[in-house]
Amino acid sequence: MARIGTIIEKYRITNVIWQGSTSTIYLAKADSVDAEYGQYLAIKALSSRKTSLLHKGQFKREAKILMAMDHPNILKIFKFVKNSENFYHFMEYVNGKSLRRMMAERVFSFEDVIKIFKSNLYALEYMKKNKIIHKDIKPENIIVSEDLRVIKLADFGFATKKSFFILDHFPYAGTEQYMAPERKKGKMDYSSDIYSLAKTIEELLAKIQNIPDFMYYILSKCTKSSLEERYKNTSSVLEDLKPFMK
């Protein structure tokens, strides 16, 4: 683990943003004028308790997947760093909070929820083009700014690329509350992420009154147990959302 004041490739650790069981995310500030990624950076460090080859491999895979993607609604990893101390992800810094934390502080309007839904659907659409399945979409893994101008899907620790399906070391990984039925059987589909996102949106809508019936229809179709009955792709969901989009 890094310590406050530690310098890693021209970035000085200033404070802890978030700490979990497998990693810690720090805020880091450029320590020189020629720092490559701007003045501020988020640095994710692998926990010193997670030193197995499995966890190291998972941490490397997450970096490889995210470094290959560039989308405004997906948290960007710029670089994977390995030194004598640990493994790190150099990530873009977002001045915001997890959707889970934001939900505890405020009630979103229906228009806000549509914006969050739409932004994450755009992310899923891009991910499908890159053959990526996230596998753990939930409020904790969506980062939002206070004004909702920034909405980003994060934490791809369990994500799988189609070419890696046979090598998936975490077929049952995820959070049960948001898991599609096929995920609980160790299987997955691109629509599995649509299911998880819809469960997140249902949670956001729970505190809002007078939800249009057609919105419930959309969410119901997103969360069908049967893959055949569920939306096959995000473009179809976005098409049905058009009446609510400004």
136 among known catalytic residues: yes
The DSSP H or E segment spanning 133 is strand 132-133
Q: Which of 34, 70, 112, 136 is catalytic?
A: 136
Query: Where are the alpha helices (H) located in the chain, listed in sequence order?
Result: 53-67, 99-105, 110-129, 190-205, 213-222, 234-241
Q: How far is CA 13 from CA 44, 63, 189, in A?
A: 11, 20, 39
Distance CA 49, CA 17 (A): 19
The two tokens of residue 66 are 């995210």
Residue with tokens 């873009």: 92
Q: How many other C-beta atoms lie within 10 A of the C-beta of residue 100? A: 14
Query: Measured at the alpha carbon of residue 80, what is the angle toward residues 40 and 102, in degrees to the nearest 5?
Result: 50
> 3-state secondary structure string, 4-59?
CCCEECCEEEEEEEEECCCEEEEEEEECCCCCCCCCEEEEEEECCCCCCHHHHHHH
Asked if 212 contacts 244 with a C-beta cutoff of 8 angstroms, the reply is yes
Q: Which sequence positions are flagged as catalytic? A: 136
